[in-house]
Amino acid sequence: MTVELVFVGTELLLGNIVNTNARYLSEKCALLGLPVYYQTVVGDNRERMAAVIRAALARADLVILNGGLGPTEDDITKDVCAEVMGFPMKEDAAVRARLEEWYRQRNRTDIPESNWRQALVPEGAVVFPNENGTAPGLALCRDGKTAILLPGPPNELYPMMEDQVCPYLRSRGEGAIRSQMIKICGYGESKVEEMLLDLIDGQSNPTLATYAKTKEVHLRVTARAATDDEAKKLLKPVVKEIRKRFGEAVYTTDEKETLEEVVVRLLNKYDLTVTTAESCTGGLLAGRLVNVPGASEVFREGYITYSNKAKRKILGVNKATLRKHGAVSPQTAKEMAIGGVFAADADACVAVTGIAGPDGGTKEKPVGLVYLACCLKDNVTVEECRFRGNREKIREQSVVQALDLLRRCILKSCKKD
């Protein structure tokens, strides 16, 4: 079953917004084992949209249309698709009731007449109720072809896709597909691929796909089989082998868990508090930790010590250390981490000092040179990193590497106990 994705929205053609839904839906299709050969973006124009839908239905088995389902006059995706496929429209009582309930809960009484167009459904369509908005999703089938219409706003699209459309597509596919996410820190994408060459080359089921993130690689293993149990059996040994090869560099196998969530979870588990002492990252490391709801249990305060004076005053870094080795040195990073533990009365401190550029680099200390230190239970680990890219990229990589350093230090220190 081949898939084609069609995105509807003049704002995409004008470059007002980035089409993140395209990445999301493409990845979901890959995950379901459905090959996507084309994506098309078209505006809110009846003729051009009809032509795009006709072409897509001619060359793919399944066409997913995204956007243009709302209540305004511009939203014509449903009308055009039903017309192209030859379905008459009919008010759906259940959709109408949901709409009424939606407006009632929000105390809205002045509903423009055009909003009720959202209760019109092509005859015989499968309806996917929208838990987070007014426009339902739809599936239309005719002559062996299927069109699925989904709302544009990501907060409506994502849950509808996960909870309703993926199960629907899975039930229609032949056999079962199962996949497992493995998130790895500390290896580059090409290194990961090199280490898995035999698994990638040797077999096409399960398949392995790598997704490069900043200083992380996400690995998706996907197995297909006649039954879910068989797919699970195919998956298990491969996942086990990958975990063995990467060891503690695998920070999670939970699709939804982020690196900072893992760090906060570990801190909670071992009843530790942490603080941050940041120079070149200027607060971004603490900002990532505070991303996690409930971070206040493990993180109470943090310091941005951008100037040398601040490093001395707040963290007690030695004047002589700064003079002799400079602010960007393993010695300063170490003293920052130790000083942070004392200043915040925390169990651990992660310190970052580096040259993010574009200026300030020298031959000995080039732009991209960053020292990280983690002080935990009287042990200090210092790491030297040489990052590439612009100021933003260098700071971003520093943050990820610092989170991972903290994670590894906790594992090393606490597993011993």
Footprint of its own copies (CB under 8 A): 12-20, 22-30, 36-43, 45, 48, 52, 55, 209, 211-212, 276, 278, 280-287, 289-291, 293-296, 299-307, 309-310, 313-314, 344, 357-359, 391-392, 395
CB of 308 to its own copies, least distance (A): 9
Instruction: Return the structure tokens found at 267.
Output: 């801190």
Sign, Cα dihedral of 354, 360, 364, 366? positive
Q: Are 406 and 274 in contact (CB under 8 A)?
A: yes
CB of 126 to its own copies, least distance (A): 24
Other Cβ atoms within 10 Å of 199 Cβ, number: 17
CB of 309 to its own copies, least distance (A): 7
Q: Which residue lies nearer to its own copies by CB, 159 or 287?
A: 287
Q: Which residue lies nearer to its own copies by CB, 282 or 411?
A: 282
CB of 206 to its own copies, least distance (A): 16
Q: Which residue lies nearer to its own copies by CB, 282 or 330?
A: 282
Q: Which residue lies nearer to its own copies by CB, 14 or 320?
A: 14
- Each as own residue / partner, the long-range contacts of residues 370-373 (CB below 8 Å, 24 or more positions apart, any chain) are 370/280, 370/328, 370/394, 370/397, 370/398, 370/401, 371/328, 371/329, 371/330, 371/332, 371/333, 372/333, 372/398, 372/401, 372/402, 372/405, 373/330, 373/333, 373/334, 373/336, 373/337
CB of 92 to its own copies, least distance (A): 30
Taking CA atoms, 154 is separated from 31, 78, 117, 138, 415, in Å, by 18, 18, 22, 16, 40
Pairing mode of beta strands 3-8, 36-42: parallel
CB of 150 to its own copies, least distance (A): 15
Q: Which residue lies nearer to its own copies by CB, 45 or 318?
A: 45
CA distance 3 to 9: 20
CB of 294 to its own copies, least distance (A): 7
If phi > 0 it is left, if psi is from -120 to 50 it is alpha, else beta; for residue 175 that is left
Q: Which residue lies nearer to its own copies by CB, 95 or 177?
A: 177
Q: Which residue lies nearer to its own copies by CB, 276 or 397?
A: 276
Q: Which residue lies nearer to its own copies by CB, 37 or 226?
A: 37
Whether a cis peptide bond, with omega within 30° of 0, leads into 237 is: no
CB of 343 to its own copies, least distance (A): 9
CB of 416 to its own copies, least distance (A): 29
Q: Are 63 and 4 in contact (CB under 8 A)?
A: yes
Q: Are 352 and 385 in contact (CB under 8 A)?
A: no
Q: Which residue lies nearer to its own copies by CB, 39 or 413?
A: 39
- Using the structure block, give the residue that is written with the tokens 């006059």: 73
Other Cβ atoms within 10 Å of 74 Cβ, number: 14
Taking CA atoms, 346 is separated from 272, 277, 300, 325, in Å, by 8, 12, 9, 26
